[in-house]
Amino acid sequence: MIFGVLTLASGDPLAALLGNRTPSPERVAQLQAQYHLNEPFLVQYWLWLTDAFRGDFGDSIVYQTPVSSLLRQAAPISIALILMAEAMIVAIGLCAAVVAARHRGAPDAIVALASSLAISIPIFVFAVLLTIIFGKTLGVLPTVGAGTGGWDRFSHLLLPAFALAIGSSALLARVGRSAMREEIDSPHVATEVARGIPSHHVFRRHVFRNSLPPLLAVIALQIPALIAGTVVVERAFNLGGIGTLLLAGVNAGDFPLVQAIALLIVIVTVTLGVLVDILHAMLDPRMSLAGNQ
Amino acid sequence: MSKPRRRALRLGVAGWIAIAVVVTAVVVAIAAPWLAPQLPTGGSILEQFEPPSVTHPLGTDVDGNDILSRLMYGARPSLLGPLLVVVLALLIGVPIALASAWRGGVIDTAIGRALDLIFAFPTVLIAALLVLVVGRGLPAAIVAISIAYIPYTTRLTRTMALRERNKAYILACEVQGLSTAAIMFRHLLPNISRFIIAQATIAFGFALIDLAALSFIGIGIIPPAPDWGIMVGDTTSIAQGNYTGVIAAAGCIVAIVGAFTLLGNRLDEGSELK
Residue type, A212: L
CB contacts, 8 Å: A224 with chain B: 119-123
Provide CATH code, domain A67-248.
1.10.3720.10
B87 in any annotated domain: yes
**pLDDT (0 to 100) of residue B272:** 56
Over residues A191-218, the mean pLDDT reads 82
B7 in any annotated domain: no
**pLDDT (0 to 100) of residue B145:** 93
CATH no. for residue B158? Answer: 1.10.3720.10
Q: Residue B270 pLDDT > 90, yes or no?
A: no
B262 in any annotated domain: yes
Selected for mutation to probe chain A from B132, B214, B228, B261 (highest A CB count within 10 Å) is B132
A200 touches chain B (CB under 8 A): no
Q: With an 8 Å Cβ cutoff, are A227 and B122 in contact? A: yes
Over residues B236-247, the mean pLDDT reads 81
Burial classification of residue A163, based on how many CB atoms lie within 10 Å of its CB (0-12 exposed, 13-18 middle, 19 or more buried): buried
Q: With an 8 Å Cβ cutoff, are A120 and B261 in contact? A: yes
Q: With an 8 Å Cβ cutoff, are A124 and B233 in contact? A: yes
Domain ranges of chain A: 2-53, 67-248
Query: Nearest 5 degrees, angle CA A162-CA B234-CA B257?
Result: 60
Q: Residue A55 pLDDT > 70, yes or no?
A: no
B50 in any annotated domain: no
Contact A71, A264 (CB under 8 A): yes
What are the residue ranges of helices labelled H in B167-243?
Answer: 168-175, 180-182, 189-216, 228-232, 235-239
Q: What are phi and psi of A12, to 5 degrees?
A: -130, 90
**pLDDT (0 to 100) of residue B214:** 92
Over residues B99-124, the mean pLDDT reads 85
pLDDT one-digit tens code per residue, A86-130 = 999 999 999 999 888 888 888 888 888 888 888 888 899 988 888
Q: Which domain holds residue B24?
A: 17-30+64-273
> What DSSP string runs through B150-171?
HHHHHHHHHHHHHHHHTSHHHH
DSSP assignment letter at A37: T
What ipTM was estimated for this complex? Answer: 0.81
Cross-chain CB nearest to A265 (options B125, B218, B232): B125
Query: Nearest 5 degrees, angle CA B236-CA B242-CA B248?
Result: 100
Contact B43, B63 (CB under 8 A): yes
* Structural domain count, chain B: 1
CB contacts, 8 Å: A243 with chain B: 124
Cross-chain CB nearest to B219 (options A16, A119, A250): A250
pLDDT one-digit tens code per residue, A132-183 = 888 777 766 777 776 676 777 788 888 899 999 998 899 899 888 888 888 8
Angle between helices B244-269 and A106-120 (to 10 degrees): 110
Give pTM, 2 decimals: 0.82
B156 in any annotated domain: yes
Query: Nearest 5 degrees, angle CA B81-CA A267-CA B214?
Result: 20
